[in-house]
Amino acid sequence: MTIDKFDFDATLLTVNFATRLLAMEVDRDVLIDRTIEAFCDLGSCKDATLMMYDEYKELKGVAASLQQRRFIIDEEIPLTKAMVEASQSLKPVIRPVCDNSVYPLPADCCNSSQTCLCIPLVGARDHIRGFVTLYREMERPWELSELFQLGIVSTVAAISFENSELFRQTIEDSLTGLYMRRYLFIRLNDEVQRYKRRGGPLSMVMLDVDHFKCVNDRFGHACGDAVLRSVGRILNESCRTGVDLPCRYGGEEFAILMPGSGKDEAEAVAERIRKACEQHIISCAEGKIGITVSAGVASIDECEKASADELLKKADERLYQAKQHGRNTIVGTDC
């Protein structure tokens, strides 16, 4: 395609829509899905692979699209010559597709009937964050307008992932991987305002690790950290991804904000967590540790005043009651 036939208006309109969706998102899971969607749409492809470098500088497959069916992957991806070339030139590289891969990857040989476009995700200071690969039939060559759009979107996607990581570091507890208390307050206020406008269920669970000080005193703080990491993992596994908000509230205390869940559902989740903790044994150099948790559960419709403070207060009061009633128990009503 010659430059005079290049439809800038249509191209910029399409790119503007895609880049806005990417640039406004900080949730990594949502960003992954939007990245795959944007590249498939702009590249007129049904098949794509998203690869990112992890904290150990290893290239990992993150997500893929096969015939427009998207799914998460988690496996190491070998660095091909096309990826090296794309990294060095900071530009897309076209190669035959690798026939031996389930996901579209560029081949080092030339005996394929399909082309694979390898696009580097170039972030700040020309740092390569990963790659997106797309493929389609040989008779559909890549047009200048497509390469132009994909080049812009690749930079926006890379910087969006960088921003997502920075945002995650400000809201995520480094020990447990859960959200931090200050982010809980932000989301809780948002959900209470949404409740006031639209109604609907909203619940809160407050949990505390029983006799945690004894764990630190007897086994040491390293084992105490292992306990907190284990509880954090159990909370993550017990909550709805992208819906519930599990947080480390402070010390050995945790909280779960549950939009869309009534108190019965919240109590069921709290009980599932309690049982999982009770059955979990943590092995440390100093010995094996058994843990239990106590929890208080409250719903917004139980509060005299629909406010974040009232919901937190009621859940915390019931947590205190659970401790008073012998620990390793859930309290969902005022005693």
pLDDT at position 11 is 66
pLDDT at position 241 is 81
Domain, as residue range, for 221 = 179-331
Domain boundary among the residues 170, 194, 223 is at 170
- pLDDT 10s digits, 36-62: 999 998 898 899 999 999 988 999 999
Domain CATH code at residue 53: 3.30.450.40
DSSP 320: H
H helix and E strand count, the chain: 9, 14
Catalytic one of 252, 271, 278, 302: 252
In terms of domains, do 87 and 203 share one? Answer: no
pLDDT at position 335 is 66
Q: Which of 59, 70, 2 lies closest to 35 in space, CA to CA?
A: 70
In terms of domains, do 232 and 285 share one? Answer: yes
Q: What would the mean pLDDT of 242-256 be, rounded to a whole number? A: 94
Tell me if residue 252 is catalytic.
yes
In terms of domains, do 207 and 231 share one? Answer: yes
In terms of domains, do 95 and 209 share one? Answer: no
How many folded domains does the chain comprise?
2
Q: What are phi and psi of 49, to 5 degrees?
A: -130, 135
- pLDDT 10s digits, 4-35: 445 666 667 778 888 888 888 888 888 999 99
- pLDDT 10s digits, 189-247: 999 999 999 899 999 999 999 999 999 999 999 999 999 999 999 999 999 887 899 99
Domain boundary among the residues 141, 170, 199 is at 170
Q: Are 244 and 268 contacting, i.e. CB atoms less than 8 angstroms apart?
A: no
- pLDDT 10s digits, 266-313: 999 999 999 999 999 998 887 899 999 999 999 999 998 999 999 999
In terms of domains, do 189 and 316 share one? Answer: yes
DSSP 302: G
pLDDT at position 4 is 44
In terms of domains, do 244 and 297 share one? Answer: yes
- pLDDT 10s digits, 67-111: 888 888 989 998 999 999 999 999 999 988 888 888 888 887 656
In terms of domains, do 224 and 326 share one? Answer: yes
In terms of domains, do 157 and 241 share one? Answer: no
pLDDT at position 187 is 92
Domain CATH code at residue 186: 3.30.70.270
In terms of domains, do 159 and 183 share one? Answer: no
In terms of domains, do 161 and 192 share one? Answer: no
Q: Band the pLDDT of 155: cuts 50, 70, 90.
A: very high
Distance separating alpha carbons of residues 261 and 246, to the nearest angstrom: 14
In terms of domains, do 198 and 290 share one? Answer: yes
Q: Is the pLDDT of residue 1 over 60?
A: no
Domain boundary among the residues 149, 170, 191 is at 170
pTM, entire model: 0.68
The CB density around residue 56, as the number of other CB atoms within 10 Å, is 6
In terms of domains, do 101 and 249 share one? Answer: no
For 247, residues 6+ apart whose C-beta sits below 8 A from its C-beta are 173, 178, 179, 180, 181, 183, 184, 254, 255, 256, 257
